Chain A
């Protein structure tokens, strides 16, 4: 059982309040991602759940029991750190066995658990190596192995993939999702990368300046963003925002339209502009178009659409894909 509930959690450092008031319910077995820009408080929130920081106010319930004053060891959670935090003086085996050693588990249990974790994570050949002899991806897996053997109520991941190169990141993403399918344990995952959030999460918590902007499934956040911040954060490239007279035509203070919902054509569209920059990815092309009176709009087209810098083109929004926002940025 691994449900986590936050009730009116507040965190201040000295005189600075980084988290004013957060309440959240994480159900057992879910993969929940905390996502947001740097400084939004996502890592702090994770560390509060872990017990590495004290809450200034509020409660943190794990399986219904208030653990806010308990030490990390008491909470039966496991954490995978961004830097992996492996013990440099112990072998891989020693690292993975460490949590069980702290529990004073019997030797047979420790050996069995270590070998099991090693086989799940393909580390069996490396058990006697020291961390400095491992690659980034291998160290990552040792960190995960160490987290698994505790059989925790929930796993906490603090930006675990940030230190890996792009290709490795994609692989590890799959492995972690796979792990979740296998173990079915609650996972709380912090990242600033919205692609990781969208691909891995059951539910996403979008954080901004210590506040929860929205809490929902990836699809909900994509199709029904609660405000401009979420709308602009989820989806890449960013949603286009149009204000002023053009937005007023649609009866809103600001309207938003995603690049993938803008059709680019030679003529006949709603807005007309000049192509400033075109980014060719092969499968797609992103056009950055300067539209008179509106500004720069980004549109996605398929890779073989041939418009070039300086050409005049027109843009049309797809039906029903326009988002409306009021003056305070909330969805209208």
Chain B
């Protein structure tokens, strides 16, 4: 369907985007790679040092806590959003009055910028003295939880999960609603009750969407930054420091560019592994 005329024009039209992204990818990334092999801080010029930065990066006594925090953060949010999202999607799929408004209310959190969410949760909801949760706890005779002192990582997980739950719900609801009414009717005639219907018909139909949500969220969750920056700054200690935040600290405050670059490459490798899986799923959908 493409002729010679359109094909040449096409190449020119794609050029700016391709070039822009190439520059965005290649230039900074190769600089990071180069820096990662240099001993380079704000106080000395770059000097080749092999894998020393990487060794030093992994020699950090807190490094495994940081990795663990990163994975726990991702895993925790995934668990909450996938399960919660599925349940919410099932709920929103039911006939009810005012479904449009219910949808609007449920998806709202996604559009709140992360800094606002984090501060609102930390101060007005989770504050151990004046926060709403504290008041609720006392109302029922419990001791208020000092969220960010006792369960800091969990608190961050709650905030991030609140933000991403709408995304998961929306995607899963869209997938759910694409299920043929007729398939459900056929299953009903075959004698399937609601539980069987869910496990044998609905869940398999949604498996693709679930995978997509999981993979896309993972990519974004590996880079959680603002919520930590604004609530705990990584603390107490390194309790809420994840990989991106650690690298940020190293770059901005330790002024060790070589080290931060090595960390950056580690983060890239981690993200790449996830990306390979995601691209395989999305690629199946393309019909270019």
Q: For the complex, is A52 an interface residue (Cβ under 8 Å from B)?
A: yes
B3 to chain A, nearest CB (A): 5
The binding surface of chain A is classed by DSSP as: loop
Q: For the complex, is B4 an interface residue (Cβ under 8 Å from A)?
A: yes
Cβ contact within 8 Å between A54 and B4: yes
Q: For the complex, is A2 an interface residue (Cβ under 8 Å from B)?
A: no
Q: For the complex, is A225 an interface residue (Cβ under 8 Å from B)?
A: no
Q: Which residue of B lies closest to A51 (CB)?
A: B3
Contact of B1 (CB < 8 Å), options: A51, A52, A69, A71:
A52
B2 to chain A, nearest CB (A): 9
A54 to B3 alpha-carbon distance, docked (Å): 6
Q: For the complex, is B60 an interface residue (Cβ under 8 Å from A)?
A: no
Q: Which residue of A lies closest to B3 (CB)?
A: A54
Q: Which residue of B lies closest to A72 (CB)?
A: B3
Listed residue (B1, B3, B4) with the most chain A CB atoms within 10 angstroms of its CB: B3
Interface size on A, residues (CB 8 A): 6
How many inter-chain contacts with C-beta < 8 Å in the A-B complex? Answer: 10
Residues of B within 8 A of A54 (CB): 3-4
Residues of B within 8 A of A51 (CB): 3
Residues of B within 8 A of A69 (CB): 4
A53 to B7 alpha-carbon distance, docked (Å): 12
- Contact mask for chain A residues 51-74; partner B; CB cutoff 8 A; 1 contact, 0 none: 111100000000000000101000
Interface size range on B against A: under 10
Q: For the complex, is B94 an interface residue (Cβ under 8 Å from A)?
A: no
Q: Which residue of B lies closest to A54 (CB)?
A: B3
Cβ contact within 8 Å between A53 and B1: yes
Q: Which residue of A lies closest to B6 (CB)?
A: A71
A66 to chain B, nearest CB (A): 15
- Contact mask for chain B residues 1-33; partner A; CB cutoff 8 A; 1 contact, 0 none: 101110000000000000000000000000000
Residues of A within 8 A of B5 (CB): 71
Residues of A within 8 A of B4 (CB): 54, 69
A53 to B5 alpha-carbon distance, docked (Å): 10
Q: Which residue of B lies closest to A69 (CB)?
A: B4
A81 to chain B, nearest CB (A): 13
A253 to B224 alpha-carbon distance, docked (Å): 80
A51 to B3 alpha-carbon distance, docked (Å): 8
Residues of A within 8 A of B3 (CB): 51-54, 71
A71 to B6 alpha-carbon distance, docked (Å): 10
A52 to B4 alpha-carbon distance, docked (Å): 10
Residues of A within 8 A of B1 (CB): 52-53
A69 to B4 alpha-carbon distance, docked (Å): 9
B144 to chain A, nearest CB (A): 60
Residues of A22-60 whose CB lies within 8 A of B: 51-54
Q: Which residue of B lies closest to A70 (CB)?
A: B5
Q: Which residue of A lies closest to B7 (CB)?
A: A54
A69 to B3 alpha-carbon distance, docked (Å): 10
Residues of B within 8 A of A52 (CB): 1, 3
B150 to chain A, nearest CB (A): 61
Residues of B62-76 whose CB lies within 8 A of A: none
A142 to chain B, nearest CB (A): 24
Residues of B within 8 A of A71 (CB): 3, 5
Q: Which residue of A lies closest to B4 (CB)?
A: A54
A86 to B3 alpha-carbon distance, docked (Å): 22
- Contact mask for chain A residues 140-168; partner B; CB cutoff 8 A; 1 contact, 0 none: 00000000000000000000000000000
B7 to chain A, nearest CB (A): 10
Residues of B within 8 A of A53 (CB): 1, 3
Q: Which residue of B lies closest to A53 (CB)?
A: B3
B170 to chain A, nearest CB (A): 29
B83 to chain A, nearest CB (A): 43
A40 to B4 alpha-carbon distance, docked (Å): 24
A52 to B1 alpha-carbon distance, docked (Å): 7
B284 to chain A, nearest CB (A): 21
A104 to B55 alpha-carbon distance, docked (Å): 71
B112 to chain A, nearest CB (A): 37
A52 to B3 alpha-carbon distance, docked (Å): 7
A3 to B36 alpha-carbon distance, docked (Å): 71
A54 to chain B, nearest CB (A): 5
Residues of A229-267 whose CB lies within 8 A of B: none
A71 to B5 alpha-carbon distance, docked (Å): 8
Residues of B176-227 whose CB lies within 8 A of A: none
A71 to B4 alpha-carbon distance, docked (Å): 9
A–B pairs, 10, beta carbons within 8 Å:
A51-B3, A52-B1, A52-B3, A53-B1, A53-B3, A54-B3, A54-B4, A69-B4, A71-B3, A71-B5
Besides A52-B1, A52-B3, A54-B4, 7 other A-B contacts (C-beta < 8 A): A51-B3, A53-B1, A53-B3, A54-B3, A69-B4, A71-B3, A71-B5
A: residues with CB less than 8 A from B are 51-54, 69, 71
A-B CB proximity, top 6 nearest: A54-B3, A71-B5, A54-B4, A53-B3, A52-B3, A53-B1
